[in-house]
Structure 1
């Protein structure tokens, strides 16, 4: 287990139980007491838990993990999803990507895709994004043209949000908008935890010919705070496992194509 994976697992444990002791974490994660104390101090310094004598407590319910901790979750599933999404992209396409760990994997996959490298040196794919980390990673890829929206960055996700996102997309047309989400369900559609990020994702979808939601199985059947789109506005769902019957019926009724990514 990497340090990032261990910290993410520790955050999950605190969130699930509300309060943990050092001994609880030792048993659950199989690490030493010294490591647990050091990790709890690290998380407390970042404002993610409250340190107590002999342990820690959660700082309220439904907190949002910073992007670096989310990256450790469902890592292999996100790689498989990214591979499947890349199959939907053709040379010359303009692709919108919102922020998140799954769309970051999509960006990396597009950046490595030799099929998108034209012989004449022209851009093989144009990526329009409101995610600063995605723009940074793809800036070294010669076959990728990067367009970054305006907006104000959120530290948790590195996403630009606010009315400048909307304004900067008014004269843009995308072939695909690939959206990472925090939840997808028949009742609530595609959702996320932050209303500003929801609006930015809607803005990308509004100028796209097709909307693709990329979501691992842990997101399916969930509804989170801010709605991005109803299912009827989604064209394709790419996930890593077959969905439950209730969600499958909702997707079928909304005419959403479901692609289950092969296991890596």
Structure 2
């Protein structure tokens, strides 16, 4: 296991538990306590954790992993979800994407799709996004037209946020918005950790005729700090596992179509 892989695992443990001890990390990774100390010091120097006596803790109750450390989490599920989402897109469609690892996979799937290259009467796909990483990665795809919103970037997620997002979307009409979320529940609907990202996602949804939520099973039945929209605003949920009976009832009552795309 490389150091980067170890750091990913340590950050996931801190995110899940709030704090970890050197012994816990050593057992989880199968490495020496000296190696764990060096890794924790590295993360502390990068201001990703708070170093404590005998371990490390999250920076706060709203702890959010930086995007580059989320990439390996639920990877197979996100690829399966992205494949199912791409099937909902037709050549010539305009697609709104917010930031995140799942929507990044959606963008990659659209970029690789031969079906969406279009033809004489269709011009590929237009992606409208506030995510700088998606815009950068898709800019080399000939059949993808990229439109980037205005805004101020968040280093944590590479997303543009602030009033310039809404200002730049004001005159757009998007066929389908695909949003990644941190939580999806019957009570609070779609939620995320940061209020600025929630507002940007709302603005993308507001100019879209159809709203798809792309979320793996770990996001379902939970809510996080900032609300994006209620369930009633969502048209389709694409996830990787069958939902519970209770959630299925709430989605059905709100008119949300559920598509399950199990990871292979």
Q: TM-score, normalised by structure 2?
A: 0.95
RMSD between superposed Cα atoms in Å? 1.7
Query: Which residue does 1:99 correspond to in 2?
Result: 99
Q: Which moved more, 1:7-16 or 1:175-184?
A: 7-16
Task: Give distance in 2, aligned partners of 1:7 and 1:222.
Answer: 26
Within-5 A mapping of 1:60-79: 60-79=60-79
Paired residue for 1:112?
Answer: 112
Structure 2 residues not aligned, in runs of 5+: none
Match of 1:23 in 2: 23
Partner Cα separation in structure 1 for residue 194 and residue 147 of structure 2 = 23
Which aligned pairs between 1:205-216 and structure 2 lie closer than 5 A?
205-216=205-216
The equivalences for 1:165-244 within 5 A come to 165-244=165-244
Q: 2:191 touches 2:223 (CA, 8 Å); kept in 1?
A: yes
* Inter-CA distance 2–251: structure 2 relative to 1 (3 Å threshold): farther
For the Cα contact (< 8 Å) 1:199–1:228, is it kept in 2?
yes
- Paired position in structure 1 for 2:59: 59
Rate the CA distance shift 1:81–1:19 in 2: closer, same or farther, 3 A: closer
Question: Does residue 82 of the first structure (1) align with residue 82 of the second (2)?
Answer: yes
Alpha-carbon deviation of 1:122? 6.5
- CA drift of 1:10 comes to 1.0
C-alpha separation between the residues in 2 aligned to 1:211 and 1:255?
Answer: 12
Q: How far did 1:16 drift?
A: 4.5
More displaced 10-residue stretch of structure 1: 254-263 or 18-27: 18-27
> Contact 2:77 / 2:262 at 8 angstroms: preserved in 1?
no
Contact 1:4–1:72 (8 Å) recurs in 2: no
CA gap 1:218/1:5 in 2 versus in 1, 3 angstroms: farther
- Check conservation: 2:151, 2:163, Cα contact below 8 A: yes
Q: Distance between the aligned counterparts of 1:109 and 1:117, measured in 2?
A: 12
Contact 2:79 2:263 in 1 (8 A): no
C-alpha distance after superposition, 1:190-230 (max 9, x if no partner): 00011111111011111111000000000000100010010
Q: SS where residue 210 of structure 2 aligns? A: strand
Partner Cα distance (1:140, 1:19) in 2? 41
Alignment partners' CA distance in 2, 1:212 and 1:195: 20
* Aligned-partner SS, 2:243: coil
The answer for unaligned runs of 5 or more in structure 1 is none
Alignment CA distance shift 1:148-1:4 (3 Å): same
Using the size of structure 1 for normalisation, the TM-score is: 0.95
* CA shift for structure 1 position 33: 2.8
Check whether the contact 2:15–2:65 (CA below 8 A) recurs between aligned residues: no
Contact 1:241 1:260 in 2 (8 A): yes
The verdict on how the C-alpha distance between 1:254 and 1:135 changes in structure 2, with shifts beyond 3 A counting, is same
